[in-house]
A and B are shown apart, each in its own frame.
Chain A
Amino acid sequence: MYKKMIMAGLAARPVRTTVSILAVTLEVTLILVVVGLTAGISDETAKRTEGVGADILFQPPNSSLLLALSNSTMPVALGDKIREIDGVKAVVPIQTQVNSTSGLEVIYGIDFDKFNEVTGGFIWHKGGRFSAPDEVIVDDIYALARHVNVGDHVELLNHKFKIAGIVEHGKGARLFIPLQTAQGMTGAVNRASLFYVKLKDPDQVHTVIERMKQVFPTYGAIPLREYAKLMMSTSMPALDAFIETVVFVAVCIGVLVIFLSMYTTITERTREIGILRSLGASKQFIVGLIFQESAVVCLTGIVTGIAASFLMARLVTLVFPTLTVLITTGWIAKASVFALLSGIIGSLYPSLRAAAQDPVEALAYE
């Protein structure tokens, strides 16, 4: 019976009902796609980082875990000192750059030979190593996404680069330029943002890191495997804050729209509430009615929101093949709870207000 009443009430106001459902859809989609994108990016980064083949990531003091965000550098010559530490096989200096003209692309400025030594070498699809400073090596996914081939020119960081070769993805970045070029562009001559370190025995990671810490107490040295794990989870403070903000904004949208919808509903239906009260409906009955009505809106919005999120995820990967959107069941559950919560918060005041109406006055309402 309740069901019939709720459905009839919602059907009688199709535009408002649709807009409310769309707002919840938006709320759920916003949460799932944004969280999915950040999770996808860090997951992707993690996989790429692990695929580098190095054992230790060596960073300047106070540098951020997010490679792309670190802008402090250290002298390349430091690499020679790291090389001298017992157990180290090879060291490669890397300067990271971020190209943000179309999405976030991390570019590695590399010393080609040393990079090969540490990572075990690129797997080549086409072309070969740099033969000039303004050349770039791209991975196969980038080449596919941008429809570019060896010999083509691409614009990166306001410079024109010629594609020298296309390599299998999974070596830390999608784009590689000569170290000197990267240094020249930022004016950080002879400096590196990080070192990848290859060990003689990968099982000695922790022992070697201990040794590194004795020589370079303020620097950061972490096992690459662990770093990849950190990237995989969204446990980075900056990302967490970002996700929290998005969730908060999304929930606010849901709360406000549900509130407005329910508030106008109870005002419009004051008389109906009076009729129900005259028939002996209790205050709790009225509260229940309004909550259930908003629950129907929320549940519908959750279902359409989840569907829309998967659709958006497909669309994103179609338009930007380099991006992945990771929609997990955990976040589907969380987004659903948030949407229901906004329904509850949004209809709290309207329902209590409707229940508090004097039945006689409600009946007299025009």
Chain B
Amino acid sequence: MNILLETIALQKIYKVGKIDVEALRGVNLRIRQGELLAIMGPSGCGKSTLMHVLGAMARPTSGKVMIDGENITGMTDNQLTAIRRKKIGFVFQKFNLLPTLTARANIEVAQHIHGQAAGSDHDQHLAKILQLLMIEEKMGRKPFELSGGEQQRVAVARAIANRPAILLADEPTGSLDSKNSEIVLNMFRELNRRFKQTTILVTHNPELVAYTDRVIEMRDGVVVSDNDPIPRDTESELVQPARSV
């Protein structure tokens, strides 16, 4: 199977004054096309940092990060931006809709940035998404006129409207009640089944595990467990680097 994301000895250090904070201390991961997986771990273990690097929002301090075959380690800001634009969709805990725009305009902005020319094929895709997320009726509303669950579904629609190969969701249910969490999580699974984009959900909520095929556990900046259903040596001849823990 096609490997879409790969990290090798990924390290990320934040400089806070004179102190180095090592948020990622050698992470090795391989994620295949179409996978739906969860990254779990306590707060502060480096999940968000990993998401930012996997989503080309931040560069690693050292190590290698391959996104769809391209190493982002030495990339310029414009190159990283292009990767985000073409391949990544983000969903955040705080919904992060543009507050002055309607739900529809929020999605249109993403399409505009992506450079997607409006066409019937594209409209059909979006219509399917909106139907699946059950927000077709809410498109004329602004974020403050929507419930948290609705806002998050608009954010999901915006993230996948341009058919990104990779959907990254950082604590997508962190601001939702359990009922809305369930709705949103079911939708992630359904969207993954329908549109086959690689989906990574970050959470510190163990209940989320039930919705994914694969769970990666992190602690203190490293991966401590990974129930990868397909053994590594059967899929690639790449040499597996030594684990750092």
Residues of A within 8 A of B (CB): 1-2, 4-5, 8-9, 11-12, 271-272, 274-283, 285, 358-360, 363
Q: B58 to A280, Cβ gap below 8 A?
A: no
Q: A277 to B96, Cβ gap below 8 A?
A: no
Known contacts A5-B105, A359-B57, A280 near B113 by CB under 8 Å: yes
Q: B113 to A279, Cβ gap below 8 A?
A: yes
Q: B112 to A9, Cβ gap below 8 A?
A: no
Majority SS of interface residues in chain B? helix
Q: A5 to B101, Cβ gap below 8 A?
A: yes
Which of A2, A271, A282 meets B78, CB within 8 Å? A282
Residues on B with C-beta less than 8 A from A279 are 84-85, 90, 109-110, 113-114, 158
Which of A1, A2, A280 has its CB near the most chain B CB atoms (within 10 A)? A280
Q: How many chain B residues have a CB neighbour from A under 8 Å?
A: 29
Cβ-closest chain A residue relative to B164 = A280
Q: A12 to B113, Cβ gap below 8 A?
A: no
Bound Cα distance from A359 to B109, whole angstroms: 17
Which of B90, B105, B111 meets A278, CB within 8 Å? B90
B217 interface residue (CB < 8 Å to A): no
B188 interface residue (CB < 8 Å to A): no
Nearest CB in chain A: distance from B195 CB, A: 18
Which of B78, B88, B101 has its CB near the most chain A CB atoms (within 10 A)? B101
Q: B88 to A280, Cβ gap below 8 A?
A: yes
Q: A281 to B57, Cβ gap below 8 A?
A: no
B108 interface residue (CB < 8 Å to A): yes
Residues of B within 8 A of A (CB): 52, 55, 57-58, 77-78, 81-82, 84-86, 88, 90, 92, 96-101, 105, 108-114, 158
Residues on B with C-beta less than 8 A from A8 are 100-101, 105
Nearest CB in chain B: distance from A238 CB, A: 50
Bound Cα distance from A285 to B82, whole angstroms: 12
Known contacts A278-B84, A278-B90, A359-B57, A12 near B78 by CB under 8 Å: no
Bound Cα distance from A8 to B114, whole angstroms: 20
Bound Cα distance from A11 to B111, whole angstroms: 22
Residues on B with C-beta less than 8 A from A358 are 58
Cβ-closest chain A residue relative to B83 = A280
Q: B100 to A9, Cβ gap below 8 A?
A: yes
Known contacts A8-B105, A11-B100, A360-B57, A282 near B112 by CB under 8 Å: no
Residues on A with C-beta less than 8 A from B86 are 280
> Can you list 14 contacts pairing A with B, beta carbon distance less than 8 Å?
A1-B111, A5-B101, A272-B98, A274-B96, A278-B92, A279-B84, A279-B85, A279-B90, A279-B158, A281-B113, A282-B82, A282-B85, A283-B77, A359-B58
